[in-house]
Structure 1
């Protein structure tokens, strides 16, 4: 179903389609950082929660969402929402599947603060083996760690639990 132009659904669809600049295989909606889009006095207001306070892509994401809304015919405003803080549990199943297909191991769900005290079991996105090892705490971005699968020998990024 295609949303009618000028509706809240059309504004959501425009904003939700914006790809993440650091992980372009997923959208901001699939990552769960696009919280809400509402129409307030004719202005599309998008609420966005950054993945973490120092994320270098936050401004780029906000500008891309604003541009998408304006391109869809809306006046637009972005509201940065810091509470509650974003968690990897907000990544949708579709987003997790897309990360895996892109070669990035998605984070486990429900880890919460336990993720800070140990290394979770990381499954290779290529062959499905859990016989993996962390090579580096940081991968291609600060929110990912670099791993290698001992079964297929392929290196891959793991989207860290937050």
Structure 2
């Protein structure tokens, strides 16, 4: 199921679907929201349920797993490449103290590959992205923040 905010990646590639297991004849799907205030969480869970129903897995239960908290470290390399190709700079490095201290990472422009970029706004098209601009090709782009 594609992510509703970034349709080029799916919820498994983003690390939102954390686990699948059978409990007797019921498939349990464990989901970790990207953050507690994410407006798409309920919609994502509904879409996962719809996709399971379409696949004939009507006996399922979705459960939220809040610990450990979701991190951009869980985004697969495949998803990072898809984000880049879509024009969104994937998270640089790993979630850590840098993001808590407000230090800007060296963000690579997904259009031209330059690291000569600057943050324009802490928030981009969604709260989990920041708006950047490349100083070489002059193109604006979203950067998926490290969380």
| TM-score, length-scaled by structure 2 | 0.96
Structure 1 runs (4+) deviating above 2 angstroms are none
Task: Quote the residue 2:131 is aligned against.
Answer: 146
Task: Quote the residue 1:13 is aligned against.
Answer: none
Whether contact under 8 Å (2:15, 2:75) holds in the other structure is yes
Whether contact under 8 Å (1:132, 1:150) holds in the other structure is yes
User: What is the root-mean-square deviation of aligned Cα atoms in Å?
Assistant: 0.8
Task: Quote the residue 1:64 is aligned against.
Answer: 47
Q: Report the count of equivalent residues.
A: 145
Structure 1 alignment gaps of length 5 or more: 1-17
Whether contact under 8 Å (2:34, 2:71) holds in the other structure is yes
Cα distance in structure 2, aligned partners of 1:25 and 1:63: 19
Pick from 33, 41, 44: which aligns with 2:16? 33
- For each residue in 1:35-57, what CA deviation from the matched residue of structure 2 results, as whole angstroms up to 9, or x when unmatched? 01112121111100000000000
Cα distance in structure 1, aligned partners of 2:73 and 2:65: 17
Deviation at 1:109, TM superposition (A): 2.7
Task: Quote the residue 1:46 is aligned against.
Answer: 29
* SS of the residue 2:13 aligns to: helix
Structure 2 alignment gaps of length 5 or more: none
